[in-house]
Amino acid sequence: MTVHGGEQQDRWQDFGAGIVMGAAMIPVFVLVPLMLREVGMDFAGAYTAAILAALLGTLVMGLMHLPVAVMPSAALTSYLVYLVGISQGLSWQQLLGAGGAASVLGMLLSVPAIGRYFSGAVPSVIGRLIPGGIGVMLIVMGLIKSRILIRSPWTVSMLGNFQDPMAYLGLMGILLTLAMMAMQFRGALLWGFVLTAAVSLAEGFWAFPDAPFMLPEGLDKVAWQLNLLPGNEAETVNMAAAVLTLLVMWGSMNWSCLQVLPVEPPKKEKSLAAIFAVGGVSSLGGSLPVSLSPLSVVGSICGGRGFLTVIGTSLVLAAALFCGPVLRSMADFPVMIVPVLVGAGLMLIQRMLSEFDRNPVEWSLPELVAAVGVLLIMPLSGSMAAGLGSSVIGYCLLRGAAGESSRIPAVSWLLAVLFILYFVYAAL
């Protein structure tokens, strides 16, 4: 009886972890269509296409026995919309085309023979820093979403006003969740999410809209609209650069997420190929490429281990198709996900510290610069590509300056050059 009860509890924990993971993803499905609307894309169509692409990708990962979430990336979308679409003058149809082309190149690079060549491109010390970098990024994300940290006119950020309901409810949820974690309370993150949501609802800060449901619409306006044909020579150059840069960003994001997820090495290559394949399908369906979400870590840390985790997330995504007004209200007051993000971030930092405690490294200047890139630039920029790229470039250049170029594989130098091109092009 006890064993049966334990199995039942584990199943509910798996399923609940998927629900929390899906809820943490909701704000992105509002943010991404809003950005795409600025380049002329229909909001309803972009919203529907993004959710369907995430649902497809998440289910594919589940069929591969990977309890992870797939979703459009706000960082990739902002890059494509503002630096490629608005600044370079490409249409949203051409942005979809760039995503489709990057998907094809990604699948080619995921061929096992080529994948094994690139497997050692990132120095091992950087790979071991990735969990901490993503952990700090999740903590910063949570503090910003709760408005505990706000923008400052004279520095990067400053403390918010704790008379703001979002700030004090967020702080309350964080402290409550950390207390449960300190007591080793099973499911602390799940209960932190539930209790914070319940208080927000009871206090009237998060309320159900009068018309909570709607039918999915707009897909006919965005599906099968991708355009791979540039109109002139300038657009040809811009599209080619966008495809290369997108591939570098997209690949580094997926690789970084895989470093903190419980994924066996053979499955990593297959999952990367699957992500690129889903990205190609989503481009045809009217969505920008989807990627492994760093919020997948939330499900893993909440106890998600099996297919039930994917089912829980998929149910939230399926509900998002019909409950857009409700989920948009959650995105406007996302305080319930704040304690989950902060708690998961702290657990990832703890995981990184434990790894370095078991296998210490000599912290010379190249390693310190790599740590700054991952632990500082990644969270402050909100971009895994920026953090990983600055770390790889700094590590390789400093090793070379110290006369240790022979210790750096040629593929690492190639990756550093690609990241340099990414930074140069993204700044134009």
Mean pLDDT of the chain: 86
Q: What is the pLDDT of residue 368?
A: 94
In this predicted structure, the answer to whether residue 1 has a pLDDT above a threshold of 50 is no
Q: Which residues lie below 8 Å from residue 97, measured CB to CB, with a gap of 6+?
A: 226, 227, 228, 229, 239, 283
In this predicted structure, the answer to whether residue 20 has a pLDDT above a threshold of 90 is no
Can you tell me the mean pLDDT for 109-128?
78
- The string of DSSP codes covering 51-105 is HHHHHHHHHHHHHTT----EEE-HHHHHIIIIIIIITT---HHHHHHHHHHHHHH
390 neighbors 370 (Cβ within 8 angstroms)? no
In the block, residue with structure tokens 């690079």: 109
In this predicted structure, the answer to whether residue 287 has a pLDDT above a threshold of 90 is yes
Per-residue pLDDT of 300-353, as tens digits, reads: 777 767 788 889 999 999 988 887 777 777 777 888 889 989 999 999 999 899
Q: What is the pLDDT of residue 158?
A: 87
Where is pLDDT greater, at 52 or 110? 52
In this predicted structure, the answer to whether residue 205 has a pLDDT above a threshold of 90 is no
Counting DSSP H helices and E strands in the chain, the numbers are 19, 4
For residues 385-420, one letter each, b for 16 or more C-beta atoms within 10 angstroms of the residue's C-beta and e for the rest, the string is bbbbbbbbbbbbbbbbeeeeeeebeeebbebbebbe
377 neighbors 386 (Cβ within 8 angstroms)? yes
Name the band, by pLDDT with cuts 50, 70 and 90, for residue 7.
low
Position 314, amino acid: S
Q: Which residues lie below 8 Å from residue 147, measured CB to CB, with a gap of 6+?
A: 160, 161, 164, 166, 167, 170
In this predicted structure, the answer to whether residue 365 has a pLDDT above a threshold of 70 is yes
In this predicted structure, the answer to whether residue 58 has a pLDDT above a threshold of 50 is yes
In this predicted structure, the answer to whether residue 5 has a pLDDT above a threshold of 60 is no
Q: What is the pLDDT of residue 2?
A: 45
391 neighbors 129 (Cβ within 8 angstroms)? yes
Per-residue pLDDT of 227-239, as tens digits, reads: 888 778 778 888 8
pTM of the model: 0.85
423 vs 225: CA distance, rounded Å: 29
- In the numeric block, which tokens belong to residue 308? 């039930």
Can you tell me the mean pLDDT for 256-264?
77
Count of Cβ atoms closer than 10 Å to residue 9 Cβ? 13
Percent of the chain, pLDDT > 90?
37
Q: What is the pLDDT of residue 103?
A: 92
318 vs 308: CA distance, rounded Å: 15
Q: What is the pLDDT of residue 116?
A: 66
Q: What is the pLDDT of residue 8?
A: 65
Q: What is the pLDDT of residue 307?
A: 82
Percent of the chain, pLDDT > 70?
93
Q: What is the pLDDT of residue 3?
A: 45
250 vs 98: CA distance, rounded Å: 12
- The string of DSSP codes covering 232-299 is SHHHHHHHHHHHHHHHHHHHHHHHHHHHHS---HHHHHHHHHHHHHHHHHHHHTT-PPEEE-TTHHHH
Where is pLDDT greater, at 329 or 43? 43
Distances (CA, A) of 27 to 53, 71, 73, 147, 165: 16, 11, 11, 15, 18
